[in-house]
Amino acid sequence: MVKAFSALKDYLDSQVLGQHALTEGILLALLANGHLLVEGPPGLAKTRAVNALAHGVEGRFHRIQFTPDLLPADLTGTDIYRPETGQFEFQAGPLFHHIILADEINRAPAKVQSALLEAMAEKQITVGRKTYALPELFLVMATQNPLEQEGTYPLPEAQLDRFLLHLKVDYPDAATELAILRLTRGEALSHEKAKLSPISQADIFAARQDILKLHMAESLENYIVQLVMATRNAAAYSEQLAKWIAYGASPRASIALERCARAKAWLEGRDFVTPDDIQAVFFNVLRHRLILTYDAEAQGLSTDDVLREILKLVPVA
């Protein structure tokens, strides 16, 4: 089964050149049953990446373009009155698909973004007095432009916490950009897409169960907990660290760190988790869950700088 996902990874890498962290993050989110937030300037193949995933996974795909005039009902659906029956009938919105691309999510105001809260956390939506279950396979990949760009809104903290991973993508180097030129030219000439046998939903669910059965030593479980506790009780590790963190990570961070470390080990063909697996996913899992103090921002520190310090301070079990 690992071979099928390795083939999917190779396919994603062939379609999205030079963004190995992005393609791996997409697979980790799929295998760890979580959602993905990708941040970067326009034109870096964020949308292309999720389109490639939809091509390689069995399921329904839908893209939602977030704009300032979007309404919550445009995502969840709404009750429509049918004059012929004299009754209201629920018209399902685009969230009732398996893979959702929330494109440029931070170009819509908070009231629209918050419509995703229940869907992402509980895989259900509530309209009026009724609650509707979403598909068992439900993955939201949201793209976000840097907050420095015009027309963007910061995501609510409650929604950020529901994303399993927060990836940052940057511009490719010269050699990769040359390969991108040749890839797009070849696609335009041939009008053909690379072929891949889609992975069934049954295989995805089976892989998730296998991942949960991987061996993780108790010492590594404690290591995960201590890493997260260092964001909440920073003074126990360093006075300087305590001055940088206003609010730490929630228990969702511990769960996400364990799930992603397991998924990474599984993708690499191992049946056990190592400290390197935890550290490899640490930044992407915690990056969006910390709120820094004004003191840290005044010093020009990023959340990655703070997380790097936490890795130095917390000993590997």
Q: What does the pLDDT look like over 148-195, one tens digit per residue?
A: 566 677 788 888 899 999 999 888 889 999 998 988 888 777 766 667
What does DSSP say about strands 87-92 and 77-82: parallel, antiparallel, or unpaired?
A: antiparallel
Q: What does the pLDDT look like over 86-117, one tens digit per residue?
A: 888 888 999 999 999 999 888 888 778 777 88
Q: Amino acid letter at 176? A: T
Where do the structural domains in the chain lie, given as residue ranges? 2-185, 214-313
At residue 198, the 3 state secondary structure works out as coil
| Residue that the structure tokens 């009231």 belong to | 111
CA distance 21 to 245: 26
The CATH code for residues 2-185 is 3.40.50.300
Q: What does the pLDDT look like over 207-243, one tens digit per residue?
A: 999 999 999 999 999 999 999 999 999 999 999 999 9
CA distance 37 to 168: 9
More confident residue, 247 or 110: 247
Class of domain 214-313: mainly alpha
Q: What is the pTM for the complete model shown?
A: 0.90
